[in-house]
Amino acid sequence: MNDYLVRNGYAFDTPIPPDKHYRELLASAEEQAKRNKLGLWLACDFPEDNEAAAREVDAGPTDAQCIIKGNISEKGFGKTYLIPGCDNYLNVKVDVRKGEQYFCTEEEALDAGFRKATNCP
């Protein structure tokens, strides 16, 4: 029910520790609702989260073939990697100051201790 409400823009993803079982699912659902301008995201004018965007600096890949994003979550998701096609791939920034990095292969990401994000194909 929560996924349906958030994914269709009828509710916000509001993670409350220690309940983190569905955290990634609901975060992905909210991103999808925002991107598709559903429910609240169509009806209301929300300011962008410029504060969070300003804190992170996207390094960009050093090799055009290495586009797998290794992300370290500040929201408790841990170390995950995203491939093109993941729900929020385009929104994720790689900030090398936090230990994040780009990978050329999924095997490299796994070897570095990252796991595939659950919102990826």
Backbone φ and ψ for 80, nearest 5 degrees, come out as -125, 155
Q: How far is CA 77 from CA 36, 39, 43, 115, in A?
A: 24, 26, 29, 10
pTM above 0.75, yes or no: no
User: Residue 121 contacts by C-beta under 8 Å, 6 or more apart in sequence?
Assistant: 83, 85, 86
H or E stretch including 40? helix 40-43
Query: Strand order of the sheet with strand 68-72?
Result: 101-103, 68-72, 79-82, 115-116
Task: Provide the 3-class DSSP secondary structure of residue 72.
Answer: strand
pLDDT one-digit tens code per residue, 65-86? 999 999 998 777 789 999 999 9
pLDDT one-digit tens code per residue, 49-59? 544 544 556 77
Q: What is the mean pLDDT of each run of 10 residues along the chain (121 residues)?
A: 89 72 81 88 71 61 92 84 90 87 96 92 85
Question: Across-strand partners of 79?
Answer: 72
